Structure 1
Amino acid sequence: MKGALALGKALTKNASLEVLDLSWNGLQAGGGIAIGQSLKTNKSLRVLDLSNNNLTTEAAKAIGIALAKNQTLETIMMGNNPIGHVGVEALLKGIVINVRLRLVGLESCVQDVTIQSDDSIRQKIEEIQSTRDILIMYSSNRPIHCKINRTILAVFERFVEENAERMEDLFNQMDKDHSGDITLEEFKYGLRDFGLRLTSVSTHLWPRRQF
Structure 2
Amino acid sequence: MRLLARPGAVVEPQGAGYGVRLGASRRRCVMLTLDDAAFAVLAREATLKPRREGGWTMVARPEVATPPPGRPGVIEASVETAEGMVQRNLGESPIAWLARRRDSHGRPWLAPAEVAAAERLREEYESLGTLGRMTMRWDVTPRVDGGRPGLAPAERDHAARQRIARALDAVGPGLREILERVCLMGSALEAAEAALKLPRRTGKTVLKLALQRLARHYRMV
Q: TM-score, normalised by structure 2?
A: 0.23
The answer to which structure has the higher helix fraction is: 1
**Larger fraction in strand:** 2
